[in-house]
Structure formats: structure tokens, C-alpha cells
Structure 1
Amino acid sequence: MAPEQMAEGPESGVAPPAGSPQPTTGAPLPSGPPSPGSVPPPPPRPLDAIDQDILQMLQADGRASIRSVAERVHVSRANAYARINRLIDDGVIRGFGARVDHERAGQGTSAYITLQIVQNSWRTVREQLRQLPGASHIALVGGDFDVLLLVHTPDNRALREVVLTRLQAIPEVLSTRTLLVFEEEDLEPQG
């Protein structure tokens, strides 16, 4: 259920186009910590069972209509519309997108790459990792390494280019370790 659909009103039953990143206010969805001078999101508030059901339904089908969400969680369409907008405004829902089969999309090689980085360089490194071709997940973690990166590339040659040329050229990256993925599966939300 994309915000464009919600902008049509709570009575709309038309499925939206996939991948819409804008809330009904027209402002971009937050993509990380607030920038200097911006208004931070409100503090997290507890989600009730209906909010949890809405989230579970939208995770399974981000194109669900307001009508189908309302029927599934047993509330009015206006209530479902208001709850979804609140979840977007509160930053709980960050966007809508498609689940991609990377192999069928020409990205047949996947790898988790662990990085050890210079202390206190996370923000700098994160910005550079965001620019890597095929990067799909970045996490600052605790343990034997500092960063976990998931990349999808067309083949091993492209993966080698990412690791040996792009990653190891970042001055704050002290070492890397590449874990080739043989098979992967995104877990579907239980519904």
C-alpha cells in the first residue's frame, strides 16, 4: 500500500504501484538519523495488536489496498488509513518495495563481507559503503569485526572488484573477510 494510494483517501481499494518511497505529507521518508536542523521523529510509541497485524500484512504484501487491510484487521477503512499514516509519520514504516530474486535479476554472486574499521570511523565508512555497487545491507555490529556488509554482484569477477579495489581502498577499512553465499532465502512474514 503506497502512500499515493492513501492520498486517494480511505475508501480507495486500488492497489498502488510498488516501490513508492513518499509518505502522504510529500516529505521524503527518513533514511537514517536526522540531519542537523531537521526535526527528529517522535519518540517510539508502543504498537498495539492492530498495528502489529497491519505491519505483518504490509510486510507480506506491500501492495495491499486500504480496504483489504481494514477487512483483515477488523477496523474501518478510515481507521486503517489513519493508522498506516501514523506508522509512516512515526518512522515505523520506512518505505515500500519489492523483494528481488537476485540471481534472476543478474546478480548471481552474493557475499557477506566483514570489515574491521578504524575506531570512531563508522559514519565515514557507512557513507562510502552506501556507494558500493550491489551493496544491499550494512550493519555496525559488535564482536570480532565491526561491520557486516551484504553485496550482490553479477559474478565473482565483480565481487573481487568490490572487495579488492573498492573496499580495501577505503582508508578507514583495516581488514576484510569475504563469506561467499551458496544459497539464500528471504524469510516471509508469518501470516
Structure 2
Amino acid sequence: MPDEQLALGGDAGERPPPRPLDDIDRAILRMLRADGRASIRSVAGRVHVSRANAYARINRLIDDGVIKGFGARVDQERAGQGASAYITLKIVQNSWRTVREKLRALPGAAHIALVSGDFDVLLLVHTKDNRALRELVLTRIQAMDEVLSTRTLLVFEETDLLEA
């Protein structure tokens, strides 16, 4: 197997590519995104497969890295994070990995993406209030040597698309 992977240009330590998803796999993923605590019994019933089949499919999705984990969807405002913003960053060329690690360490950083277009990085943050947001942008993010400029987009209202 390692020889086959190397012949295809892969590294011997890489995982094989995930298997293709079918309609049942996609239905299971939709259900688990909406309720990560759903029981095997309820998953099986909703997608019309046996419990053993549902269990095996979920384990395969985990093993293949399709499901990376399970977590809670948090209402940021009720959790004391009253201000949310998307911050766009222009960064020094080839500094993505360094910037990503610095942004991960920021309090309230929720999502970081390397993107194309007029800016390089899109960062979603949640903070206690606008004062904490201003402090985060002005003293933490703009102080990073690799950050050339930022633009802050305040979030006025959010809707979780997974909520019924």
C-alpha cells in the first residue's frame, strides 16, 4: 500500500481519500449537524436503516475524517458575548501559517479562513462588548507584524441555518 501511495504522489503517512458519500450518509450528516446528541436509534429511524448500519456509517464517517467532532451550538449573546464581527485582514505574503496560529490564540476567535479577493483572511470573533472588540482589533490584531491592514464588519443579527 505505501508503494501505491508514493506512486500516486502521496506521502506514506497520509490517510487514504474518504469514500464517496451517498444519500444516506448525507442525511446522517444533516441530522448530526442539527443535533449532535441524536441517538443511534433516532438516526437509524430517520434515515430508514438498521441501528447497526447507522452505527457503522457514523463510525466510517468519523474514521474517514468527514466527521471531525461533536460540539454545542452556542448562543453567543446569552453566553455573555454581546458583540460579534467579521474582521478582514490583508497580510504579508507567505505569512498565513504564522498569522493563523496568532489568530487562533486570540480570545473569542471563532472561525479563521484564508480567502481570495480583496483581502487575505476572514476572521469571525465574539467579544463581551464593542469596547472589548475595539481592544482586540486595535491592540492585538493590528499589532501583529504580518498584518498590513484590517477592516471590521459588525454583526447586527445572526441566524443559525441548522435551527428548525
State the TM-score, normalizing by the size of structure 1.
0.77
Measured against aligned partners, the alpha-carbon deviations of 1:54-85 in whole angstroms (never above 9, x if no partner) come to 10110111100011111111111111111001
CA distances 1:126-182 after superposition (whole Å, capped 9, x unpaired): 011000100101110000000000000001111011101110111111100111111
The 5 Å alignment of 1:18-167 reads 39-167=13-141
RMSD of aligned alpha carbons? 1.6
Q: Could you tell me which amino acid in structure 2 is paired with residue 59 of structure 1?
A: R
- Contact 1:59–1:189 (8 Å) recurs in 2: no
Find the counterpart in structure 2 of residue 6 from structure 1: none
Give the 3-state SS of the residue equivalent to 1:88 in structure 2. helix
Uncovered stretches (5+) of structure 1, i.e. residues with no partner: 1-36
Once residues 27 and 162 of structure 2 are traced to their aligned partners in structure 1, the CA distance between those partners, rounded to angstroms, is 14
1:171 aligns with 2:148: no
Answering whether residue 159 of structure 2 is matched by residue 181 of structure 1, we say no
Shift of 1:38: 9.2
Query: Does structure 2 retain, via aligned residues, the 8 Å contact 1:134–1:153?
Result: yes
TM superposition shift of 1:43: 0.8
Between the two proteins, the alignment pairs up a number of residues equal to: 154
Segments ≥4 residues shifted beyond 3 Å: none
Distance apart, 1:189 and its partner CA: 6.5
Output one character per residue of 1:17-40: Cα deviation in whole Å (capped at 9) or x when no partner: xxxxxxxxxxxxxxxxxxxx9943
Q: Which protein has the larger Cα radius of gyration, Structure 1 or Structure 2?
A: 2
Q: Work out the CA distance in 2 between the residues paired with 1:163 and 1:116.
A: 13
**Structure 1 vs Structure 2: percent identity of aligned residues?**
82
Bigger helix fraction: 2
Structure 2 segments unaligned to the other structure (5+ residues): 1-10
Shift in Å, 1:187:
0.9
Distance in 1, matches of 2:37 and 2:78, equals 22
Which stretch of the first structure deviates more once superposed, 128-137 or 39-48?
Answer: 39-48
What is the rounded CA distance, in whole Å, between the counterparts of 2:89 and 2:75 in structure 1? 26
The secondary structure found in structure 1 opposite 2:61 is: helix
Residue identity matched to 2:161: L
Q: How far apart, CA to CA, are the structure 2 residues paired with 1:173 and 1:102?
A: 27
